[in-house]
Amino acid sequence: MECVRSGALDLRCQGKVFGSATACGKAGCSTNLAGSAKQNLHGKAKHLQLSATGTSSLVHRGPVLKHQRSLAVRSAAAVDAYTTFDENVKGVTSHAVEEKVGVLLFNLGGPETLNDVQPFLFNLFADPDIIRLPRLFRFLQRPLAKLISTLRAPKSKEAYASIGGGSPLRRITDEQANALKIALKEKNLEADIYVGMRYWYPFTEEAFDQIKKDKITKLVVLPLYPQYSISTSGSSIRVLQNIVKEDAFFAGLPISIIESWYQREGYVKSMADLIEKELTVFSNPEEVMIFFSAHGVPLTYVTDAGDPYRDQMEDCIALIMEELKSRGTLNNHTLAYQSRVGPIQWLKPYTDEVLVELGQKGVKSLLAVPVSFVSEHIETLEEIDMEYRELALESGIENWGRVPALGCTSSFISDLADAVVEALPSASALTTRKVKDANSDMDMRQYLTKMLFGSVLAFFLLLSPRLVSAFRNRLQ
Ligand SMILES: C=CC1=C(C)c2cc3[nH]c(cc4nc(cc5[nH]c(cc1n2)c(C)c5CCC(=O)O)C(CCC(=O)O)=C4C)c(C)c3C=C
Ligand SMILES: [Fe+2]
């Protein structure tokens, strides 16, 4: 049985035109484009552009319109998946072989012992999506990562020591992987699940090796971050793009990427369930301020590099609050950003500052809701449960609660399984996505200023012990 990808394909999304897609329709054909039409092309942060020539690009565009659609509409267009087609593989035929579906979960990874902390931090800071140096200064990435990870390690080790000596991320992600496999089976999809961590074991590259060994024939990529950021899902997707460039197996493998899924009904409802449940612990639930605390990113990611993270986060909070409102829960809420690192400006408002302000304003009961991540980790268990709780109580807040991370909540895992099932038909050979690079937007003057500033900074950082110790104080 042979299938040639053919027919009119025009899915231009400007929030209005959903276009058309022609499925091959032949039995056993793995190149079914029909699913593409179901993608979430609602003109928010992402736009899928596929042309009849078979080329495509995915671009982030801002600013984002605030949500005005009903949840039902959102749920029908729930999967933010995209597919790109390589000119070189256009017209490639695929044969009816037994399908072996793989699902690759992307996550950050975390140190498992205190000895892992510094090398884990090195991997993190060596990532050009985490410390974005101008192209000419990329040679400084690793020395800078070595320096920053060494300076940061003592503080991080202390934090990891206080939660039992290591990150629970690997264990929880493995549990989520197992739960997802079972949920998919219940939906009649047999799939092998792979975990690819960006900065610690099992590394993304190990997952790629296994996927290749297992001869997977279709892959759905699911980053375990509800909202997209250049620094998280974007960074892992870049690793995927690199392997697609380097390895013929991955260049030909049909892949579908679920970029962000905070807008899925199942996720929104699961979050609302957790919040509702936790509110009942307070003696006066209606007086509790719902305090969403999201992991921050440096401000320039959003302002210069077009990271849709802040827009998606605000959208996500609006959806959860809308859901709560529809259930009669009318509490006040606020959003702030936590976990900033180093002497630069991050997304505001900052969690620590807002907690103090709320205390001063007389807020007495507060429910913290971690919202950028779906498992417990250092920043929920240490930063929120210890540091922020203490700060809140010192600032006059009397009743403190925290919503647990979603983990393996069954409604949530079932919804992730639905997302995978919905994304599968749009799997297709992937080409390098045009990730918007902050550097490409810089004009020459900005670029030269950054170069000059970067070289002076690097010079002092590497050579001046006084500045190193000053910098260390800012990092701790
Ligand atoms: C959506 C979530 C996350 C974003 C966005 C993000 C950006 C980001 N993070 C750092 C620096 C650090 N992150 C660290 C740990 C960490 N980060 C996330 C999530 C996001 N990061 C998680 C889930 C974790 C915890 C992993 C674990 O072990 O449990 C750390 C290490 C811990 C520490 O020392 O505080 C650092 C450092 C930057 C610079 C950044 C954006 C540029
Ligand atoms: Fe982080």
**According to the model, what pLDDT value does residue 153 have?**
98
pLDDT of 371 = 97
Evaluate if residue 184 carries a pLDDT over 80. Answer: yes
Question: How many whole angstroms from 321 Cα to the centroid of ligand 2?
Answer: 25
Residue 25 has pLDDT above 60, yes or no: no
Sign of CA dihedral 339, 298, 239, 96: positive
N- to C-terminal Cα separation, the chain: 62
Residue 46 near residue 227 (C-beta atoms within 8 A): no
Mean pLDDT for 376-396 is: 97
| Distance from residue 412's CA to the centre of ligand 1 (Å) | 23
Amino acid (one-letter) located at 455 = S
SS3 138: helix
Residue nearest to atom 3 of ligand 1 (CA): 295
List pLDDT tens digits, range 121-176: 999 999 999 999 998 999 999 999 999 999 999 999 999 999 999 999 999 999 99
Lowest-pLDDT range, 23-37, 223-237, 397-411?
23-37
**Which has the closest alpha carbon to 177: 195, 191, 189?**
195
User: Is residue 111 pLDDT above 50, yes or no?
Assistant: yes
Number of helical (H) and strand (E) elements in the chain, helices listed first: 17, 16
pLDDT at 457 exceeding the cut of 90: no
Half-sphere exposure of 139 toward its Cβ, with a 13 Å CA cutoff?
Answer: 3
> Which DSSP category does 203 fall into?
B
Query: What is the rounded average pLDDT of the residues 419-442?
Result: 71
pLDDT tens profile 126-140: 999 999 999 899 999
Q: What is the pLDDT of residue 439?
A: 42
From residue 183, how far is each of 15, 80, 420 by CA, in Å? 32, 20, 11
pLDDT of residue 473: 54
Confidence of residue 454 (pLDDT cuts 50, 70, 90): low
pLDDT in tens, 234-263: 999 999 999 999 999 999 999 999 999 999
Residue 48 has pLDDT above 80, yes or no: no
Pocket of ligand 1 (CB under 6 A): 108, 110, 121, 124, 130, 152, 156, 167, 169, 225, 229, 231-232, 295, 297-298, 341, 372-373, 377-379
What is the reported pLDDT for 337? 98
Q: How confident is the model at residue 430, as a pLDDT?
A: 85
The CA 362 to ligand 1 mean position distance, Å, reads 31
Q: What is the ipTM of this complex?
A: 0.92
Q: What is the mean pLDDT of the chain?
A: 79
What sign does the dihedral 309-221-340-385 (CA atoms) show?
Answer: positive
Q: What is the mean pLDDT of residues 429-458?
A: 53
Integer Cα distance of 189 and 180 in angstroms: 11
What is the mean predicted confidence (pLDDT) over 287-302? Answer: 97
Nearest to 438 by CA among 304, 346, 309, 310: 304
Ranges 76-90, 103-117, 201-215: which has the least confidence: 76-90
CB-based contact 205:104 (threshold 8 Å): no
More confident call, 33 vs 109: 109
Q: Which of 132, 148, 339, 381 to mutate to test the pocket of ligand 1 (most atoms within 8 A of CB)?
A: 339
CB 375, CB 110: distance < 8 Å:
no
**Per-residue pLDDT tens digits for 50-103:** 222 222 223 232 333 333 322 222 222 233 343 333 333 333 344 456 899 999
What sign for the dihedral angle of Cα 415, 416, 419, 425? negative
Span from the CA of 329 to the centroid of ligand 2 (angstroms): 31
d(CA 330, CA 333): 9
- Where are any strands of DSSP class E within 109-217? 191-197
The strands making up 333-338's β-sheet, listed across from edge to edge, are 333-338, 289-295, 365-370, 399-402
Q: Which atom of ligand 1 sits closest to the CA of residue 297?
A: 41
| Tens-place pLDDT, residues 301-331 | 999 999 999 999 999 999 999 999 999 999 9
